[in-house]
Structures are given as structure tokens and as C-alpha cells.
Structure 1
């Protein structure tokens, strides 16, 4: 097997059957750029982020512009009614910083949970949305005015944009939930029907809402948006108050440090699942990391620990950027799993409210993840970073609900085994963990021995076509010798734009 164009030895790093199609895909899904790169799940968002770099912005400006665009382009997956986490690594820093913008429990949720009335969707699943504070915290480190960063998103919402296939798929999956929670109908299901891919969609309410964020900043929930949210939740039978909304915050903190095959590994701290990811890869050496069935065993063990310590498992998107100075930032923003969050929509502002509280908290009083007022729930959201001995840095993450950790573990194992080509890391075949019985779904592309080893390790193995899972991995790499590169997962139409 040939070496990658950056000199990596594919044979020592992975065990899969490389094909011409994969080599092409590995090249197509990555970008290299001297002046910066932006990756996003929505290609238009990546372009908007790159334009922020071209206008003189830094990586923080780029991710804010791209993320706000995604709140318009991918509303079933992310938005101002959800949460976000981020990792940021400046070249002069020895370790990245983590940003946690995860809303805490409403003051009245503990009583609801203690009486067994907290649900995974619907009015009692809604917590405090913290994504707006997260966008503001990122923008505060940028160079450009917030109004300039938000202008493309506002323009998309007002003028209209082409509805994506993934939004149609997620809408079909959430049709029953949204109809039950919004009997009067909603802009996302005109006439009660799922919007077809390619249809021009306009969201004037969302345009007004993003404008409110620009105008009111930290007072966002103290204005008309907050009033509308409280009224809509009360109408549906929920308990979030105006005081709850004003408690939303975004906090910069140290990343948690662990080890990956002798390298420093950094992950977002609790209540994210970064610790679970660190557990999954902690026992790997270079030889074990080259075997994906061995990685599977470590992942299942880490999941078992997570299940003991947290509550049950929990639409999510992400954007990433690296600028000319070498600062790397990755952002995961989410309306929570599975899609359309709680299912409740604030019609005046086209705002989908997340269900992070209902999915993330335990209903058992005394449990460390019980929804005491202000406590942040456990969340599958997390991001990672690592650095090799030669100074090459990687920063990455993926959306994917319960499979965020397994997919991140697979990528980190490949880095630990020696792979450095970000396109190959993203295009490589993946396996998906099934929560019900610990079985696996395995994409085509693994060699015969690996398939045999999976059959011995897992209760059941299901084969699927290549690139058939919903992984949405994005990886940034900055190398003293090879320069800057980024890759976005081809499985979910991600894109990278380089300058």
C-alpha cells in the first residue's frame, strides 16, 4: 500500500482495503490552505466562514459566521434553541481551551423529575438554551463586528435557501413528534407535509431572531425572543421561566488531558463525553490502535462505565476553522438527539427548542446527573485534540448522537497508529455501535481478517455500503512540515473551503 502524499505509512496505520475510489474521496474531502480553511456540514456555511477569513477575520470569526449560517440551513440539527461546545487551540498555547455553552436545569425541573414526569421530548424535556451565549463567547475573540458575521445568515433566512436532503430526511423522521407538539402547524411542515429537497425555504422569523442576538447580545433572552419562548413553553405545559432563560452562560475552561499511544490527548471536560472518549483510547498502544475490533472492545468497555455513571444515551452539526496564524477552533452545536429537539417550535421566530434536559438528565433523586437547578446535563457532545512529537496538531469531532464517541475513538486510534493524512482519516471505513445489544454495523472496505475479528468481538455484525453511516467527522491538522489541512466527512455532504 502506498504512502500518503504527506509521507504517512498507510500500511502501518490502518487495516482496510484501499481502493481507487477511496483514494479519490480522501483527496476530494480535504483542503489545504496557507491563509486558512473552514469546514462545515453545510457547504454554503463553509463558504460563508471562508468569506469571514477573507474579510480579515480569524478562526473565531469564521466559525461564528459558519455556525450562524447553519442555524438557518440546518434547523432540525442546530440553532439558538440548543447548546454548543467548542475546543480552541492557539499556536502559542501548549493545550487547547474548551468552551461549554450547555444550558442548566430549570429551577422547577427537579420536582418534575422526582415525580416521574420528565420526558425525552415535549415540554418537560426543554432546558435552558445556551447556544446564543456560546456564539457570543466565540465572537468576543474575533476581529469582526458581530453584525457582519450574522449578516449572511440573516440574508439567507430572508431571501430563502434550498432545503437540503438531510433536512428532508430528518423532517420525515420527526413528522409525528412535530405534528403532535404543534397542532396549529409550523413553517417546517407547510400543509403538514415534509419539505422536498431543493425547495426554496424562507424563515423571516429566524432572520428577526438572529437580528435580536446582534442587537441585545447577552440580553438576548431578556427581549421579545425570551418572552415568546417562555409563553410557548407554558402553552405546551412546560416549566421554563424568564429567570431560567437569563441563567444561560458560556464558560471557557481547561480541556481535560489524557494519553493516546504516548501522545497528549485533550478532550472537552464533563459534562461532555470527552472523558468517555479518553477512557476508550487510554489502553491503546500503536499495535492495538491499528485493529478496529480492538478499538471496539475498548469503546464498549468505556460505554459500560458511562452507563453506570450517567443517564441514558442522548440532530447535531459542527463547523471548524483554522486561520493564517494557526489558531484552530471546532464547534459542535446541537438541538439534541434525535432531531427537531423537543419537537416544540416557537412560531414567531421559527425557533426549534432542544430537549437536552430530557435526554441528558437522570430522573433518579440523588443521582449525580439529577436535574438540580442550574446543573448542566450529561451530553454526548465532545471534541478532541492531540499533538504528535514533531509538533503536528490535530483537532476534531463528529456529530452522531450515541456514536460520537465510537467514531471519534476510531479516528484517534488511526492517528495513534500513525495515520496523518486527514482525508484518509475521514474517508476510511467506519463501524457503528448499536446501543441495544452492542452489535456493530460495518461499512464495506475492511479486510477479511478485520471482519473475522469483528465477528469474534461483537454479538452481531451487519455489513452496509461504503460511506453509509451518518458520521460527520471534521478534522483540522497543522504541521510544521506539511502545513495546514482540513477534511470534512463525505457521508453527510460536508465541505471544506481553503484560502
Structure 2
């Protein structure tokens, strides 16, 4: 069974390949390649489709972190589209003696996703309007509520009911939505039409006004001025030397620095929980939390040599802040409540405009003919899970068959007290909630791989 899962996790083609956390989104990404797009077009189309298919995980009110290579690049570029602290958040937190819940009105973050998607689309050929259309059409005709979405909505039912006592489209007051139910999202279709028209300026008009009203009703301080488009930070990714060669990762404020610190100067086959525990203990956010489901990942590569991996997120837990803007079926993230340290003078305190530290990150490594790029959701568990994957993948030949074998390697994770739990020892086999995507680029050939543990899929042509 394991060898079968490993083979089915990987797809290879001569035009391009896409992996995503949603099968529907992966298919839309591949259709974009077949329609004349490049890897960036495919990734953006798939990401926008995931905002419809996986509304608990990602959306236009969330954030985007990416790592990419254009054909001919010798170093990956780190892209971070992450909003800073709202102007009034620091004083509001101080007035509460720094007791700010991780969900609710004060927890809502400034969205970076519209600017992030826009910048990635600019690296493609098809343009934002065309890339948005498949997601808009999907929302209009409706999604099939998957078993995963039903599970995540069940876990978040108390959170959603706390902030929407009358129910939401994702969690009606009459009861949970059964898996397999058709769920039209016409309000989200309107949101995507607004994004197609306005792009990074999405929140400058009526959508932003609706967000501000919803946040204010929940006791938050977000303003239209706070919702101005974020600056997308694009810099060459940093790297470290490992026993298996260089490893690149996204830059601060992502946890890419934590991942590379784990591997810096290390024998990758011996890097494990003790090393990861020590590195994470030094992060400015503080202690560990259980793996969350507020994030998804998409990766794409084409035969021209372009490759990109995107991590887009509503933060933690599923359904972010728990607030839904019903006019647009829009789940508001809680990057602020989850990401900042609410403590006077802390280096990660919510000073106006400061971006919070985020566990989101992506990595890259070379193989003999090209590049590997990858990422996973999972909150603080992203570093443990990436460590386990890379420990299996980097010492191999890094061929296409190696991708699937590395994906089924047992995962381990760290508890809040630092204890280690492993698949097959405390966790069921394939019981970790990782959801890796990987792409492998080479001249005239591309491969993608998706973690078999959840609902991801890899496709190629």
C-alpha cells in the first residue's frame, strides 16, 4: 500500500505540473497551463480556486508567502505579502492589559493576499481577470462540501457560532453541512468579481467598508486606512549549507529562518526533534501549539523552467478569526491575534505597521538538472514536518520517484511541552495533518507531488 501511495502522489509531464491542497484547484491549475499559462498563472488560478474550495483555510482576507524561480534564475526569490499591525491595535491591546484573544475582532489581521496574488499573476502571461474566472465560476455554480471541509467546520462550530449566533453559510444554525452537499457561494462569486476588477486595491471600496463594519461590530479597530494594499516584500531567498548541499527558504518574518537554522551545517540524515525543539524555543512567538488547518499550499512548475510554491493562509485555527463577512462569504483571518506577542516592548509586539512573525514558509533545493520547491500547512508543526520530509528527500537522488517515497516517510510532531509524537507511535499511520506539495523542475520536464494524508492532488500534462 505504501509503495502505491508513493507512486500515486507524483505526476510528471512535458508541459507542466501542479500540486494543491484541493483536487479541484489542482485541476484548474492544470487547465490554466493547457490554456497557455505558465507556472505562475497555474499557481494563481489554483490558489484562487482554493479560496472557494477551502474557505476555512485560505482566502482574500488572508496572507501569501511564496518562493519562486523564473527560467534561468540561479537563486530563488522569497515573496512575503503580509499585513502589518492596524494603527489602533497596540493601544487597544494595552487598554486590555495585553489580554487579546486569538480570535474575534481584535485578532483580525490586515490582508496581504490580494497584493500577493497580484504580484504572482504579474509574473504570468494571462492576467488577473482571466486567472480569477475559474474560481468565480466555481463559486457561482457551487462547490461540493468535502469530507475535509465538513470535518474542519465541525471542529470550528463553536468558534463560528460564538461570532455568528444566527449561523453562517459555512455553518448554518440549523446544523452542520453534510459532506457531499452542493454549496453555492454567490456572495463569494461577487467578491472574486471585485478582486478581478480591483486587484490589490480590493479593500479600498465597498468590500473594505463591509470588512470594517464587521470587525467593528466584533470589537475590533481595523480601519479603511489600515486596509490599504500591503507592500509585497520580494528579496532573494537566504540559504544555508547542509551535508546534502544548499537549502534555501523564505525570509523574515517567516519561519524559513527557523527551518534553515535547523539544517545549517548539519548532517541532514541525523537532524531530528531535539534540534528542532531548540530552534523553535528561540522564536519570538513563544510556545508550540497544535497543528492548525488555517493554511493551504499550491505549487506549479512548467517546462520553461519557471517554478513556484505558494503558502496562503487564514492563520489558525480553521476559519481564522471566526468572523465571516456575509455580504461576500469572506472569512477574516486572525494573523494579528495569532501572530503577535501581546506584551509591552516585545520585539514581536503589535507596533503600528509591524508585520507579525509567521510560521508560514517554503523551501527550495537543487537537483542534478533543476530545482525542488516545497511547503506544508501546519502552524508550528511546519518546521518539524519539513524537517522530516527533507531528511528523507535531500540525501537521495532527488528524482521523481524519490518525491513520493519522501512524502510517505513517517512524520513526527512536537507537543506544547516539547514531547515528540510519531506516526505509528502515538499517531495513527499517516495520522499527521501535514499536506505537503512539492514541484520538481527540469528542462522540458516538470513533476509535482502531493501529500497523500489529506485531500491534496498532483496533476501534470
TM class by shorter-chain length? Answer: over 0.9
Other structure's SS at 1:349 match: coil
- Matched residue SS, 2:92: helix
The DSSP-based 3-state class of the residue aligned with 2:190 is helix
C-alpha distance after superposition, 1:409-443 (max 9, x if no partner): 11222233225211111122211222x22222212
- Cα offset for 1:248? 2.5
* CA 1:148–1:479: 2 relative to 1, 3 Å: closer
* Long gaps (5+) in structure 2: none
Which secondary structure does the structure 1 equivalent of 2:173 belong to?
Answer: helix
Matches of 2:295 and 2:255, distance apart in 1: 15
Residue number in structure 2 paired with 1:260: 242
Counterpart position of 1:465: 428
Q: Is the 8 A contact 2:18 2:439 kept in 1?
A: no
Matched, 1:497 2:459: yes
SS in 1 for 2:438: strand
Deviations 1:310-335 (A, max 9, x none): 34556100111001201110101000
Offset of 1:483 from its aligned partner?
A: 4.3
| Contact 2:433–2:453 (8 Å) recurs in 1 | yes
Q: Conserved in 1, the CA contact under 8 Å of 2:128 and 2:196? A: yes
Alignment partner, residue 389 of structure 2: 411
CA distance in 1, matches of 2:459, 2:144: 20
- Match for residue 475 of structure 1 among 412, 435, 438: 438
Moved more, 311-320 or 330-339: 311-320
**1:485 alignment partner, one of 441, 447, 451:** 447
Match of 1:176 among 128, 153, 158: 158
Q: Is the 8 A contact 2:39 2:300 kept in 1?
A: yes
3-state secondary structure, aligned to 1:290:
helix
Aligned residue for 2:422, secondary structure, equals strand
| Corresponding residue number in structure 2 for 1:32 | 12
Partner of 2:36: 56
Query: Match for residue 339 of structure 2?
Result: 360
CA displacement at 1:391 relative to structure 2: 4.2
More helix by share: 1
CA contact (8 A) 1:162 1:201 kept: yes
Question: Within 1, Cα distance between the matches of 2:3 and 2:314?
Answer: 34
Alpha-carbon distance in 2 for matches of 1:159, 1:328: 31
Q: Partner residue of 1:341?
A: 320
Q: Which residue, out of 255, 266, 272, partners 1:295?
A: 272
Structure 1 residues 91-130: aligned runs within 5 Å: 91-114=71-94, 115-130=97-112
Structure 2 residue 138 is matched with structure 1 residue 163: no
Aligned to 1:17: none
Contact 1:102-1:131 at 8 Å conserved across structures? yes
2:59 aligns with: 79
User: How far apart in 1 are the matches of 2:440 and 2:123?
Assistant: 21
Secondary structure of 1:95's partner?
coil
8 A Cα contact 1:313 1:360, kept in partner: no
Residue correspondences, number? 452
Q: Are the aligned partners of 2:114 and 2:195 in contact in 1 as well (CA < 8 Å)?
A: yes
Which runs of 5 or more residues in structure 1 are unaligned?
Answer: 1-20, 445-461
TM-score by length of 2: 0.95
Q: What residue number does 2:129 align with?
A: 147
Q: CA deviation at 1:185?
A: 2.0
Using the TM superposition, give the Cα deviation of residue 479 of structure 1 relative to its aligned residue in structure 2, in angstroms: 4.4
Q: Is the 8 A contact 2:20 2:46 kept in 1?
A: yes
Q: Is the 8 A contact 1:66 1:319 kept in 2?
A: yes
Instruction: Give a deviation string over 1:118-175, Cα, whole Å, max 9, x none.
Output: 2211111112011111111111111003222111111111111101111111111111
Tell me by how many angstroms 1:84 deviates: 1.0
RMSD: 1.6
Q: Is the 8 A contact 2:306 2:441 kept in 1?
A: no
CA deviations 1:459-496 (Å, max 9, x no partner) are: xxx4333211111011112346x943221001012101
After TM superposition, the runs of 4+ consecutive aligned structure 1 residues lying more than 6 A away are none
Larger radius of gyration: 1
User: Secondary structure, in 3 states, of the residue corresponding to 1:269?
Assistant: coil
8 A contact 2:303–2:446 mirrored in 1: no
Distance 2:180 2:52 in 1: 15
Q: 1:275 aligns with which of 257, 277, 284?
A: 257
Shift of 1:179: 0.4
| Match of residue 310, structure 1, among 285, 288, 292 | 285
Offset, 1:247: 4.5
* SS state at 1:244 partner: coil
> Quick check: 94-103 or 243-252, which moved more?
243-252
Cα 1:105/1:313, change in 2 over 3 Å: farther
Measured against aligned partners, the alpha-carbon deviations of 1:335-391 in whole angstroms (never above 9, x if no partner) come to: 001111000110100000010111110111221111111111011100000114x34
Whole-Å separation in 2 of the counterparts to 1:320 and 1:120: 29
Once the two structures are TM-superposed, the CA of residue 253 in structure 1 deviates from its matched residue by 1.7
Instruction: Please state whether the residue corresponding to 2:7 is helix, strand or coil.
Output: helix
